[in-house]
Amino acid sequence: MDGAWTLEPSEEICAPTRVEPTWTPERIECLTKLWDEGVTTAEIGRRIGVTKNAVIGKVHRIGLVPRVVTEKPEPRRNVFDFNGPVCMWPSGHPGDTDFHFCGGRPVAGKPYCTDHAAVAYVKPREPKPQAA
């Protein structure tokens, strides 16, 4: 070999002879119907087999009426809303409406109350002696 790069002809066809269009009339009809129903762009994409960004682009190109979210989510209480030290043990999932922190009196130098500190801080086990 002399170090020159050569590309051998391949018997495989590299490109398809016919490319199928992404946006068929059926997909556009389905997109329009789902858009009018208020389905999210990600869900529309999953249902018709395209990406969310493809849905957004097509919505703009065909001139569908943009949807504007008018509801504002309720402000969440954050850790800075507490007055003084309190137990910061979370209760529930942050996305749930009933999510909150314990709020009890914390152990000195710890962010949790006595009960939650017992759960959070587990004393490590003593290592087993190695066989000689």
Domains in the chain: boundaries: 25-62, 73-125
pLDDT, averaged in runs of 10, over the chain (132 residues): 62 62 90 92 92 93 84 61 81 83 88 90 79 67
Q: Which residues contact 103 (CB under 8 A, 6 or more apart)?
A: 82, 86, 87
Instruction: Identify the pLDDT of residue 69.
Output: 65
Instruction: Identify the pLDDT of residue 125.
Output: 79
Instruction: Identify the pLDDT of residue 10.
Output: 58
Q: Provide the β-strand partners of residue 91.
A: 100
Instruction: Identify the pLDDT of residue 95.
Output: 79
Whole-number Å distance between alpha carbons of 105 and 83: 12
